[in-house]
Amino acid sequence: MFPYLDPLKKTRLVTPGPTQIDERTRQAMDSPAEYHRSPEFSRLVKETRDLLSTLFGSELRPILLSSSGTGAMEASLACVTSEKDAILVVSGGKFGERWSQLGQSFGCHVTELRIPYGEAPTADQMLEKIKSKNFRAIFLQACETSTGCYFNIESLIPDLRKEYTGWIVVDAVSSLCAHPMKMEKWGIDVVLSGSQKGLGVHPGLSFVALSPRVLTSFSKRHRFYFDLGREYEDQEKGAPSFTPPTSLIRGLHASLTAIHEAGIDQVLDFHARVASGVREGIKKIGLATFCKSNFSNSVTSFRVPDGLDGKCLLKDLQDRYGFVFAGGQGELRGQIIRMAHLGFFDRFDCIESLAALEFVLHDHRYPMQLGSGVGAFMQHMAKAS
Ligand SMILES: *Cc1c(COP(=O)(O)O)cnc(C)c1O
């Protein structure tokens, strides 16, 4: 039979969310029912938010919300805009497009700065747009997960701040824990993220960090559940306004503790190193990365080689080898494959993923040397820093 398959294979997730769950986090989530108004749970919420604060580089403690990342996007947009406000959206992929859809649903006048898929906005492009209109708020991603492109916000935002004083809202769902975030230092008003990406917790929790000036100037829109002002006050007093997903918060606390113990800088440095190693592996296999520069440390996307069927490669990766890679979304469907290196994993997880990719390409008679990508990655990781 061709190819030879492992009869008792495992399933391995290489998607850019949900990501793998560390054993410590998994055990913390397997918790008995508990009362969310107890002093003990209040302490857990406070500690968790303190740990998040360091990760976000925020002056104020981030708010925990019971929703996926999109819920935090919606809560943020609704809290800083009113109907008919002019807003600017950077749109370079599926998640940028989501900002536009949200803005339109909430009655804003949306101007898009459209960036070709796989590219990042420049400060000049953004400053030119900013001059054209008085925008209430700017919305962008730190990492556009659908293309694997990082928007270099550590230089972009300070450059914008020289000319722009309105709200800046950054979706850091897939960049948190893989790229630095210093919202206070860089001048960002709202940063949001979610549990199932860099933090390696089951989906269902999201976080919004606010700057002090945004906390006192929310829009007058009607809202109830996602009222960030009330939620912030209640969480400062020790408990979310409504029943929170207690087990997920236990998991988040365990993940954050592990990250802080390892050292945030060490974790960020590791993601950068692994991401460049994966790109070297991909190139050695003979594949082309989808982005030409501005690579994300969270996910690497590469083009499906001419003559091969992207859908079929993904299916074979899963059915034959148990690896769940992500494909392209929207207009990139069938054209790219995305391999995540986000959250709780080590170099050996990347070696496995590259090996699975090599096996499947070999099955499809793609001309390559088995082990070439894995070898390049190992060489990269073995280099002294
Ligand atoms: C995953 C992700 C989201 C949130 O998606 P949900 O499915 O709502 O959790 C938002 N923005 C980016 C950049 C993401 O990668």
Q: Which atom of ligand 1 is nearest to the CA of 174?
A: 15
Closest-lying ligand 1 atom to the alpha carbon of residue 196: 9
Ligand 1 mutation pick, 67, 95, 248, max ligand atoms within 8 A of CB: 95
**At a CB cut-off of 8 Å and minimum separation 6, what does 60 contact?**
53, 209, 210, 211, 212, 215, 232
Q: Does the CB atom of residue 219 touch ligand 1 within 6 A?
A: no
Exposure class string for 243-271: b at 16+ Cβ within 10 A, else e = ebbbbbbbbbbbbbbbbeeeebeebbebb
pLDDT of residue 330: 86
Residue 357 CB-density burial (10 A; 0-12 exposed, 13-18 middle, 19+ buried): buried
State the pLDDT at residue 2: 76
What would the two tokens of residue 38 be?
């107890």
In angstroms, the CA 86 to CA 136 distance is 6
Largest CA distance in the chain: 67
Kindly state if the Cβ of 206 falls inside 6 Å of ligand 1.
Answer: no
Q: How confident is the model at residue 1, as a pLDDT?
A: 57
70 C-beta closer than 6 A to ligand 1: yes
How far, in Å, from the CA of 367 to the mean position of ligand 1? Answer: 35
Query: Is the CB of 42 inside a 6 Å radius of any atom of ligand 1?
Result: no
pLDDT of the residue at 283: 98
Per-residue pLDDT 10s for the chain (385 aa) are: 579 999 999 999 999 999 999 999 999 999 999 999 999 999 999 999 999 999 999 999 999 999 999 999 999 999 999 999 999 999 999 999 999 999 999 999 999 999 999 999 999 999 999 999 999 999 999 999 999 999 999 999 999 999 999 999 999 999 999 999 999 999 999 999 999 999 999 999 999 999 999 999 999 999 999 999 999 999 999 899 999 999 999 999 999 999 999 999 999 999 999 999 999 999 999 999 999 999 999 999 999 999 999 999 999 999 999 999 999 998 899 999 999 999 999 999 999 999 999 999 999 999 999 999 999 999 999 997 7
Among candidate residues 40, 46, 113, the one with its CA nearest the CA of residue 256: 46
Tokens standing for residue 249 = 């918060």
Ligand 1 midpoint to CA 173 (Å)? 6
The structure tokens listed for 331 are 């207009």
User: Quick one: which atom of ligand 1 is closest to the CA of 141?
Assistant: 13
Cα atoms in the 13 Å half-sphere on the side-chain side of 174: 29
Residue 130 has a CB neighbour count (10 Å cut-off) of 18
Residue 198: CB within 6 Å of ligand 1? no
Helix 264-285 and helix 372-382: axis angle, to 10°? 150
Q: For residue 373, what is the enclosing H or E element?
A: helix 372-382
Alpha carbon of 219 to ligand 1 centroid (Å): 24
| pLDDT value at residue 215 | 95
329 lines ligand 1 (CB under 6 A): no
Q: Give SS3 for 110.
A: strand
> Does 32 sit behind a cis peptide bond, omega within 30 degrees of 0 on the bond before it?
no
What is the rounded distance in angstroms from the CA atom of residue 168 to the CA atom of residue 280?
A: 34
- Output the CA 5–ligand 1 centroid distance in Å: 34
